Amino acid sequence: MKLDLEPETHQMRDLVRDFARSKLNGAADPHPEQFRARWRAAADLGLTGCCAPVEHGGSGMGAADTAGVLEALGEGTGDTGFAFSVAAHLLACVTPLVHFGSEEQKRRWLPGLCSGELIAAHAVTEPEAGSDAMHLRTRAERVGDHYLITGVKAFITNAPVADIFIVQAATEPDGGVFGLTTFLVEAGTPGLGIGRPESKVGLHGSPMAEIHLDGCTVPVDHVLGVPGGGASVFTASMHWERTCLFAVYLGAMKRVIDSTVAYVRQREQFGTPIGAFQAVSHRVVDMLLRYEGARLLLYKAAHDLDQGAVDGVSAALAKIAVSEAAVQVGLDAIQLRGAQGVMHGEAEQMLRDCLPSRIFSGSNEIQRNNVARVLRLDRLERPAHGA
Ligand SMILES: Cc1cc2nc3c(=O)[nH]c(=O)nc-3n(C[C@H](O)[C@H](O)[C@H](O)COP(=O)(O)OP(=O)(O)OC[C@H]3O[C@@H](n4cnc5c(N)ncnc54)[C@H](O)[C@@H]3O)c2cc1C
């Protein structure tokens, strides 16, 4: 496994980290204008299109380099929510358009998505269909040269600010995985409504809302991929998301581990830095161990993606490892700061930002199911005679 990033990626990581430290470290501001100003600044650095082809306005990066850039963003900014929004746009929206879009669709939308003019959201989850994402209630019915889409989508990242939505809907209600189709739906399309922004425990810099589709009228040339091919679009984009989006959390872990090391060296009790107590120092080493282990799994998954892996095992393992390490790092960072840890600040914010990571992109329980399925653990295999 070759883990070296391209030289240009190293340069971009430095630029992105510096930019995030200087421009993205104020408190998350949910105001749409402030969000868009941050978005444009991030786009000017190439963050919103780094894995799109150069001819469509991107930087043509593969998965490992994309992860490298997002890791630097997560390390530089304390606004993990904003970094999450950028990554969701990139991995669940730009990537499927790159891999499944027609030439006409790519020419039409990719330049704006890369330049920061357009923000995207990916709408799959519904109030009654979360983990069971292949059984959607949202229906799309073809009428002449249009589809009429009706349904509700819940917990949609970027929905309050999005210009374009990638929407999964059932075109064959009893068609199972072959019954879903993906649509590109522009904001302002008749029949599309956006709910009130949701308030969540962490990721405050990432706007989220429901979307309501009420006979939303979408031309047939807005189908992404082929009719009935929605599951493939969803699965491919989730492999990218489960790998590269979680690099944001690697960066956040690094930032918080560094500040925790500084804290335990500075905080004195019993006449000595608390880092001298074995219970403290071992906890710090365990933080590092979790972070480094998760980091290796993530870059292994990115490498596999760049080599064309399709079973999603390494992506699922990376997602589980990073999200569980991040939550534990958040808990440890709080514990090591004592009462200071539960005051509003970096450690408690880290924990709040990390809690959702075990749920989105397919919960960790579903990722374990996915890996178990590939291992065929439910198959009865009788030992051969004489064995
Ligand atoms: C911050 C955040 C951002 C999100 N952004 C988006 C977005 O942009 N677009 C989008 O479409 N969705 C988004 N989601 C929704 C996310 O994809 C779902 O929350 C997720 O798929 C889980 O669905 P659910 O919340 O309905 O939980 P449920 O499916 O109701 O699951 C509840 C619990 O039961 C467990 N469970 C369910 N089924 C099984 C099973 N078969 N085996 C074992 N355990 C099981 C789950 O693991 C979980 O612990 C986001 C969620 C969050 C928290």
pLDDT band at 381 (very low <50, low <70, confident <90, very high): confident
Q: Tell whether ligand 1 has an atom less than 6 A from the beta carbon of residue 211.
A: no
pLDDT (0 to 100) of residue 1: 67
Q: Which two tokens stand for residue 103?
A: 């030439």
Tell me the pLDDT tens digit for each residue of 58-103.
999 999 999 999 999 999 999 999 999 999 999 999 999 999 999 9
d(CA 361, CA 157): 11
261 C-beta neighbours (distance < 10 Å), count: 16
Q: Could you say which of 71, 75, 241, 348 is catalytic? A: 241
CA of 125 to the centre of ligand 1 (A): 8
Amino acid at 379: R
Nearest C-alpha neighbor of 89 from the set 130, 43, 150, 53? 43
pLDDT band at 5 (very low <50, low <70, confident <90, very high): confident
| Residue 296 Cα to chain centre, angstroms | 18
pTM score > 0.75 for this model? yes
Report yes or no: 49 and 109 within 8 Å, Cβ to Cβ.
no
**CB contact burial 299-330 (16+ within 10 A = b; e otherwise):** bbbbbbbbeebeebbbbbbbbbbbbbbbbbbb
d(CA 91, CA 97): 10
Is the Cα dihedral 36, 41, 47, 52 positive or negative? positive
Q: Tell whether ligand 1 has an atom less than 6 A from the beta carbon of residue 235.
A: no
Mutate to test the pocket of ligand 1, among 84, 363, 369 (most ligand atoms within 8 A of CB): 363
Q: Tell whether ligand 1 has an atom less than 6 A from the beta carbon of residue 204.
A: no
Tell me the pLDDT tens digit for each residue of 275-304.
999 999 999 999 999 999 999 999 999 999
Amino acid at 244: C
Q: Which pairs with CB-CB distance under 8 Å and at least 24 residues apart come from 25-30?
A: 25/76, 25/77, 25/78, 25/79, 26/79, 27/79, 28/79, 28/81, 28/82, 28/204, 28/205, 29/205, 30/197, 30/204, 30/205, 30/207
Tell me the pLDDT tens digit for each residue of 116-128.
999 999 999 999 9
pLDDT band at 386 (very low <50, low <70, confident <90, very high): low
The answer to whether 186 is a known catalytic residue is: no
Question: Would you say residue 46 has pLDDT above 70?
Answer: yes
Atom of ligand 1 nearest to the CA of 203: 1
Half-sphere exposure of 106 (CA within 13 A, CB side): 18
Q: Tell whether ligand 1 has an atom less than 6 A from the beta carbon of residue 44.
A: no
Question: What mean pLDDT is predicted for residues 127-137?
Answer: 95
Nearest C-alpha neighbor of 196 from the set 213, 215, 212? 212
Q: Tell whether ligand 1 has an atom less than 6 A from the beta carbon of residue 355.
A: no
Question: Would you say residue 265 has pLDDT above 90?
Answer: yes
- Alpha-helical regions (H) of the chain: 7-23, 32-44, 63-76, 80-89, 95-100, 103-115, 230-240, 247-266, 278-306, 313-336, 346-354, 364-374
Tell me the pLDDT tens digit for each residue of 191-233.
999 999 999 999 999 999 999 999 999 999 999 999 999 999 9
CA of 206 to the centre of ligand 1 (A): 17
pLDDT (0 to 100) of residue 176: 81
% of the chain beyond a pLDDT of 70: 99
Atom of ligand 1 nearest to the CA of 364: 47
CA of 362 to the centre of ligand 1 (A): 6
Q: Tell whether ligand 1 has an atom less than 6 A from the beta carbon of residue 217.
A: no
